[in-house]
Structure 1
Amino acid sequence: MPSSHAHEIDLAFAGNHELRKRVHAAIDQTPTQSTLFRDISAYMLSQASQPSSEPTTKKRKLEDANGAQSAAPAPAPAASSLTSAATKAWRQYPGTSFSLPQRKKYTLELVGNKDGGVRALGADGSVEFSIAWTNVDQVFCLPVPEKAKRQHNFIVLPILGDGLSPGTDLREASPPEPIVWTFEEATGKNIVEGEDPGPGPMAEAIDHCLMQAATGKAVIFPDADQFESAIPQSHRKGEKAYHVKGHRGSKEGYLFFTSAGILWGFKKPLAFFDFASVTAVSYTNVLRNTFNLVITTQTGDIEFGMIDQADFNGINEYVQKHGLQDASMAATRRAQKLNVNPPKEKENGADGTAAVEPDHGLTELQRAEMQLQDMEDDEEDEEDYDPGSEGESEGSGSDSDDEDGEGYEGGQGEEYDEDDEEGAEGEEVET
């Protein structure tokens, strides 16, 4: 289903979040019904926009049982005041540069009530796109890397708009899109005395709206306690960086390791990995200067390549801090997010074998060294194995086995003779 059709549906059912989810779920299950739902949505929007046949100042009068006249009940409000340009905004920011879902300048508005949200108005005053506060999953304020002037991107992620949810890769059912706009800090003569030139006041305004809507959310800023890049910022010396440059396929972008999860931005497709969605994290193509980061979710693996080796330790510390390498914690994190009872930990595996202890605190190189050491230990155990200990010295007196090593796993016949020289003391080997 084209994104314009999905936008019509979102507008028509914006006032009823649960019903809108059911409509999208029905389209996901039966894509052929998308046209029907689009037509219904278009009709609903057209009816909402038509002016009343009666003057707005005229009131219908009804006679009560005593013959007295009283005003008729007021008409029901529109399905969503957020999509109506007539609804006044609590805060307005003209000339805001948006990059998602459209790259254009609009007037940013924050509608500060329980049924409000964030929206963008075009030059004619019409609402181009919007997200209700109750539909917001997360809001981030992150610095834009590699810019001479300080800029920050506000990212409003809708529920099911993380780029990872099942079905988001199906074009028939377009997921809700994030909204991204840029805030440029005031400099020089544009700085107003006594006012914060940074994004703080805008973030506080958003926090106020989120609190009014009782979402339990707040704007998330980068935190050095979570992650701080080890690579100096050449364009602004002494300033901390919170991003990691990488590639997703052929597209270059940035990874941010925040208190709520890992965000990949800022171009399409945006992706957000909250802790509950991550099944495992691993590293591949670990070279002297670069390595790749693989994030595994329920829907598959997503690999980010060409990450600078200087940030390996910082990323690995973040991964260990949040237990993202331990696949056994993934179900528990998801249960906590959904507020259900987490699965009980089993002492043994499903096949009755002892559960493997997680290797927290190990780098990929250390893990590989441990695996290699385990393999060498296994080989030594096989070489030290004394067949006579089980009551039979099968093959110990064979003419051919001692010469070419046949009969011993790995073909290490000569090493076996040397290692077992003391253990075979007293035995006579025929030649």
Structure 2
Amino acid sequence: MAFAAINSTNGPIAAIEEAFATEPSLKKRVYDAIDTTPQHAPLFEEIARYTSALGATSSTTSLPIAPSNDGPAAKKRKTQNGAIAQTAQAPVNLKGNDDSVQFYVQELSFTMPQRKKLTLEITGGHLRARNKTSKEVEFGISLDQVRHALCLPVPEKTQKQFNFCIIPEFADGITPPPEGVAAAEAMVFTVAHGPAKTAFTGLGQQVGHNEGESAEGLIRKILNDSLPNANVICPDERQFVSATPEAHRKGEKAFHVKAFRGSKEGYLFFLSVGILFAFKKPLLFFSFDTVDSISYTSVLQRTFNLNILARPRNGSEDDNMEFEFSMIDQADFDGIDQYIKRHGLQDSSLADARRAKVYNVNAPKTQEEKAAAEAAGEEPESELQKAQRELEDEEEEDEEDYDPGSDDSSDGSGSSDEESDDDDDQEDGEDSGDEEMQNELGSEAEENAEQD
């Protein structure tokens, strides 16, 4: 056949491959048309080049950097080749050797920075989202700017799903970008659990489906191979697992806790690299190097609040920001507390602003006692637990030392002694009266016997 002859002699046509890289079905129809009428191959090639040219033109006109109305325009500098470059984030490139599509997945649901279904593309230099209808790139992140990549199960869904959270530099909600630099926003998209049915290589070859590999596992693998400064992090029950199982999928462990930040409801994930609050804007990620301290407040019978004091990278104490997450289920207190101790995060529950008096009743007196306690396998307690224990010990000690008589020593001691003496005299009188009565009865009995 003609198509087979083209592939065997010249291989795929480069212009067609480039123009229809994200449309494998359309590309196949073009090749089928060339197969039917080989004389039209040059025409299709010209159409493909024209399509590519239109895409290149739209990329330079539809994605300009919008200057801010309330601040100075981004500064410009010259590169080595004399071209003008922006200090703010440049538009996502559609063309270029480093941006040829290597992997893409169609029809993914994005929730950040836009809420719509788009095609995820991974190129040699970018992670980006393309509109299937307009063929334009909606947004994207340079791969070398990605600092954290997270893959998390979506809570409270009947069907199992995963949210991928791609967090570039200055998009964690803690560290602001330098002045004059426009940072990329965090990217969040959802992948259904199951085989990868719509994942393709840049040449349109379907991947993952034949091997039965899940879409979530395939994307994690591709991201790990593509990201130079990050690895995809998943929840680990050795780090934290909720005391309450996943309600919508019975028998499955949950790795999140529900919490409120103000009136906004979200989920806290305690991961090996930090703490995430998601999945609503603004997404907050507290990496360990930004956490200054963690404290508990409003500890009630059923709920408690978690306060995270965060500091921007390279910031001072004056830049500290406190984030309060409320209405956390008390059942997850122990798991969260163990996570904080495991990672050496400071527990500031006894800070001067909110702590009660510290009681030092039963604290170990010597280093030997401390070493013996550690050898016995006792886990170190947090400052909050220590304060509660010592307060209870203090109350118990006060109860043991309480003497009811000592309170009235000045008023009632004399009367008490007199009453006890009177009682003794009364008892002695009763005993002597009984003896006299017995003697009289005995005498009367003897007299009656003599008269008889």
Q: Compute the TM-score of the two structures, normalised by the length of structure 1.
A: 0.58
1:201 aligns with 2:213: no
| Unaligned stretches of 5+ residues in structure 1 | 1-7, 14-23, 45-73, 328-356, 379-413, 419-431
Instruction: Pick one of 182, 186, 189 that aligns with 1:178.
Output: 186
Q: Deviations over 1:115-155 (max 9, x none)?
A: x0211112322221111111111000000001111110111
- Identical columns (%): 40
Instruction: Pick one of 102, 120, 126 that aligns with 1:117.
Output: 126
CA shift at 1:156, angstroms? Answer: 0.6
Question: 1:234 is aligned with what amino acid?
Answer: A
Question: In structure 2, how many angstroms separate the alpha carbons of the residues matched to 1:159 and 1:75?
Answer: 27
| Unaligned stretches of 5+ residues in structure 2 | 1-59, 199-207, 312-319, 349-369, 371-378, 399-405, 411-452
Aligned residue number for residue 272 of structure 1? 285
1:279–1:189 distance in 2 versus 1, CA, 3 Å: closer
Aligned residue number for residue 264 of structure 2? 251
Question: In structure 2, how many angstroms separate the alpha carbons of the residues matched to 1:99 and 1:235?
Answer: 21
1:163–1:78 distance in 2 versus 1, CA, 3 Å: closer
Aligned residue number for residue 127 of structure 1? 137
Bigger Cα Rg: 2
Aligned residue number for residue 84 of structure 1? 93
- Secondary structure of residue in 2 paired with 1:36: coil
Question: 1:83 is aligned with what amino acid?
Answer: V
- Secondary structure of residue in 2 paired with 1:134: helix
Question: 2:329 is aligned with what amino acid?
Answer: D
Question: 1:285 is aligned with what amino acid?
Answer: S
CA shift at 1:189, angstroms? Answer: 10
1:198–1:371 distance in 2 versus 1, CA, 3 Å: farther
Aligned residue number for residue 106 of structure 1? 118
- Secondary structure of residue in 2 paired with 1:268: coil
Contact residue 316 and residue 363 of structure 1 kept, 8 A: no
Question: In structure 1, how many angstroms separate the alpha carbons of the residues matched to 2:112 and 2:196?
Answer: 29
Aligned residue number for residue 70 of structure 1? none
Q: Deviations over 1:2-54 (max 9, x none)?
A: xxxxxx9xx879xxxxxxxxxx9xx9xxx96x34328x69xx9xxxxxxxxxx
Contact residue 113 and residue 185 of structure 2 kept, 8 A: yes
Question: 1:279 is aligned with what amino acid?
Answer: D
Question: 1:267 is aligned with what amino acid?
Answer: K
Instruction: Pick one of 85, 103, 107 that aligns with 1:95.
Output: 107
Question: In structure 1, how many angstroms separate the alpha carbons of the residues matched to 2:112 and 2:160?
Answer: 20
Question: In structure 1, how many angstroms separate the alpha carbons of the residues matched to 2:159 and 2:235?
Answer: 18
Instruction: Pick one of 59, 68, 73 that aligns with 1:36.
Output: 73
Contact residue 161 and residue 193 of structure 2 kept, 8 A: yes
The number of aligned residues is 291
Contact residue 82 and residue 111 of structure 1 kept, 8 A: no
Contact residue 82 and residue 132 of structure 1 kept, 8 A: no
CA shift at 1:367, angstroms? Answer: 2.3
1:77–1:295 distance in 2 versus 1, CA, 3 Å: closer
1:16-415 pair list within 5 angstroms = 34-37=71-74, 83-86=92-95, 87-112=99-124, 116-122=125-131, 123-166=133-176, 175-186=183-194, 192=209, 194-210=211-227, 214-215=228-229, 217-298=230-311, 299-325=320-346, 360-362=380-382, 364-370=384-390
Whichever structure has more helix as a proportion of its residues is 2
Contact residue 256 and residue 263 of structure 1 kept, 8 A: yes
1:138–1:258 distance in 2 versus 1, CA, 3 Å: same
Q: RMSD over aligned Cα, in angstroms? A: 4.2
Q: Compute the TM-score of the two structures, normalised by the length of structure 2.
A: 0.56
Question: 1:178 is aligned with what amino acid?
Answer: A
Question: In structure 2, how many angstroms separate the alpha carbons of the residues matched to 1:175 and 1:84?
Answer: 16
CA shift at 1:94, angstroms? Answer: 1.6
Question: 2:387 is aligned with what amino acid?
Answer: R
CA shift at 1:84, angstroms? Answer: 2.1
1:133–1:374 distance in 2 versus 1, CA, 3 Å: farther
Question: 1:84 is aligned with what amino acid?
Answer: N
Question: 1:224 is aligned with what amino acid?
Answer: E
1:75–1:159 distance in 2 versus 1, CA, 3 Å: closer
Question: In structure 2, how many angstroms separate the alpha carbons of the residues matched to 1:107 and 1:98?
Answer: 9
1:363–1:90 distance in 2 versus 1, CA, 3 Å: same
Question: In structure 2, how many angstroms separate the alpha carbons of the residues matched to 1:166 and 1:78?
Answer: 22
Contact residue 108 and residue 119 of structure 1 kept, 8 A: yes
- Secondary structure of residue in 2 paired with 1:201: helix
Please identify runs of 4+ aligned residues in structure 1 that moved more than 6 A. Answer: 74-82, 187-191, 374-378
CA shift at 1:361, angstroms? Answer: 2.2
